[in-house]
A and B are shown apart, each in its own frame.
Chain A
Amino acid sequence: MSRVGYMHTDCLIPMTGNNPYATSNENAEELHTPAEVYTAAELKLAVLQIRAPIIQSKSKKFRQLLVSWIKSSGFSRAVVLSSSQAYQRDDQQMKGIPLRYLVTPSLLKDSEDALKELSWREMERVSAYPGLTDANTEPRLYVPGGEDIPLAVLILFCSEGDNIPDAFTLVNHLNDWLHLLDDPSQKPNKWKIPTSWNLLFGSGIPPALF
């Protein structure tokens, strides 16, 4: 995939670093910014990678920015890869796979059959105050809502810590639907790991320890 643009906004915490997808010494010193857009023309695919946390008070503004960008770009469908806190799962959600999906009505029209075939599980609605039966509180989703654009959200319940296996679970799950890569389950793992995933737990240990 090739980098085609940035999303330069005050809604993200500034960060920068060298190319995490370097393939040679020549492109190792390319600067990368908090949110960048990549495309693969042959797959008709565009990817927006958001690398920095959103500034808390600006999540609404950022959402509006994203939605207007998705609309103006005219994507036939958009998929949000996301995660949700594992500790928020209720008893019924703890059964089975930790993956869920959500779709907007306009995408549901086109993809209903495909989703049924995959036998994915839709995100359950959880009552806002578990244990309380109040006629006024509708069961609601513990994820942010949106406008009606052809959009799907894939959610993985995960915990704090090393989320590398979670990332593979999610991307394999997406691949079952979109077939970005043929049979990724083959060994060795066909997904490439960026260098930015190294040293998640810090630097090397002092040799004097041994």
Chain B
Amino acid sequence: MATFFGEVLSVYSRAVEEDEEEVDENEEDAEIRRELEEKREVHLHWSPEVSESLKSGNKLPCSDFILAVGHNAARFLSVYALTSENWDALGRASVWNERSGGVASEESTCVFYRPKDNPAVLICQVTCYLAEDQLFQWTEKVFDCLQLRQLNVTVLSESSVSEFKTADYLSSSSAPFLRSLHSAAFSGKPVCKSLEQPNIVTGLQAAVLNHCEVHRIPSIVYQCYSDVIGPDSVTMETFKPTLTKLGKSIKLDPSPSADILRKIVRTTNIHSNLYI
């Protein structure tokens, strides 16, 4: 949640604040509200040939849509899939919100890829922050570009183990671990346990799964619960069991060299100065 001036507030209360929007709203307030809303809109930028075909009404043919949400999930795909095959960057999504920090960075953090030899597969890596009010819109806009017939959706996502609730005590050795959640139309066998009640999934993975449930698209979310803040190779490895499923649609590198792993993990350590 953001205040008017853009500070990020994390809200844990289950009470819903009632904003008295209609009470004293003058035209200027409404104008600011409208502009802010416009600025927060999600924009998809496709490569020329894709936007050309979308314009003429042909949606992207897609049998497998693989979405990685978060640094570990995105890097897992980078290491195991994107290095091993020739991929085309098809497009990207850009968002502006209170955490994107004024200027949109040059390096895009929500990119779509397609393998050169198999145009029916689409991969998306999302490592940027999407605000609560942008999740639904992102999902609607992306799925609006895809052919829904024979579409299968796999989402890899991650969360902190502190958000996982269980009656037993979770020792530190048990994390990271994987849980799955799938839509009613999904018919395969998940590679891990189903997410137990009372746990819930939120964020982009929830928005995508809700969309698939309502539109009867087979879809599964693999949520990794990790006890490490920031990307690390152990958490990335947790997604490995899903390779057996993903391998049917994309060529994968089952044992990437240690160099690739190291390179991908190291780049993020620079930001952490908590214990220096």
| Residues of chain A from 1 to 52 with CB closer than 8 A to chain B in the complex | 6, 8-10, 13-20, 22, 28-31, 33-34
Asked if B201 CB lies within 8 Å of chain A CBs, one says: yes
In contact, B201 and A16 (Cβ under 8 angstroms)? yes
| Residues of chain B from 99 to 154 with CB closer than 8 A to chain A in the complex | 132-133, 135-137, 139-140
In contact, B169 and A17 (Cβ under 8 angstroms)? no
- Interface size, chain B (Cβ < 8 Å): 49
A59-B19 CB under 8 A given contacts A10-B137, A14-B207, A16-B201: yes
In contact, B167 and A10 (Cβ under 8 angstroms)? no
CA distance A207 to B168 in the complex (A): 9
Chain A contact-residue range equals 35 or more
Task: Please name all residues of chain A whose beta carbon is closer than 8 Å to the beta carbon of B16 when the two chains form the complex.
Answer: 53-54
Nearest CB on B from A186, distance (A): 27
CA distance A68 to B130 in the complex (A): 30
**Which stretch (B72-80, B190-198, B232-240) binds chain A?**
B190-198
Asked if B45 CB lies within 8 Å of chain A CBs, one says: no
In contact, B206 and A16 (Cβ under 8 angstroms)? yes
Task: Please name all residues of chain B whose beta carbon is closer than 8 Å to the beta carbon of A22 when the two chains form the complex.
Answer: 197
In contact, B37 and A18 (Cβ under 8 angstroms)? no
CA distance A140 to B200 in the complex (A): 38
Asked if A132 CB lies within 8 Å of chain B CBs, one says: no
CA distance A194 to B200 in the complex (A): 14
Contact partner of B165 (CB less than 8 A), chosen from A8, A59, A199, is A199
Contact partner of B210 (CB less than 8 A), chosen from A16, A28, A143, A199, is A16
CA distance A15 to B9 in the complex (A): 19
Interface flags for B1-44 (1: CB within 8 Å of A; 0: not) read: 10000000000011111110110000000000100010000000
Main secondary structure of the interface of A (DSSP, over half): loop
In contact, A57 and B198 (Cβ under 8 angstroms)? no
Task: Please name all residues of chain B whose beta carbon is closer than 8 Å to the beta carbon of A10 when the two chains form the complex.
Answer: 133, 136-137, 140
In contact, B200 and A15 (Cβ under 8 angstroms)? yes
Asked if B214 CB lies within 8 Å of chain A CBs, one says: yes
Task: Please name all residues of chain B whose beta carbon is closer than 8 Å to the beta carbon of A6 when the two chains form the complex.
Answer: 213-214
In contact, B197 and A198 (Cβ under 8 angstroms)? yes
| Residues of chain A from 139 to 165 with CB closer than 8 A to chain B in the complex | 143-144, 160, 163
Contact partner of A18 (CB less than 8 A), chosen from B15, B17, B18, B194, is B194
13 A-B pairs whose Cβ atoms sit less than 8 Å apart in the complex: A8-B211, A14-B210, A17-B197, A31-B181, A33-B213, A53-B14, A53-B16, A56-B17, A83-B15, A196-B198, A198-B197, A199-B198, A206-B169
Which residues of A come within 8 Å of B, CB atoms? 6, 8-10, 13-20, 22, 28-31, 33-34, 53-60, 83, 85, 143-144, 160, 163, 194-199, 202-207
Which residues of B come within 8 Å of A, CB atoms? 1, 13-19, 21-22, 33, 37, 132-133, 135-137, 139-140, 164-171, 181-184, 194-204, 206-207, 209-211, 213-214
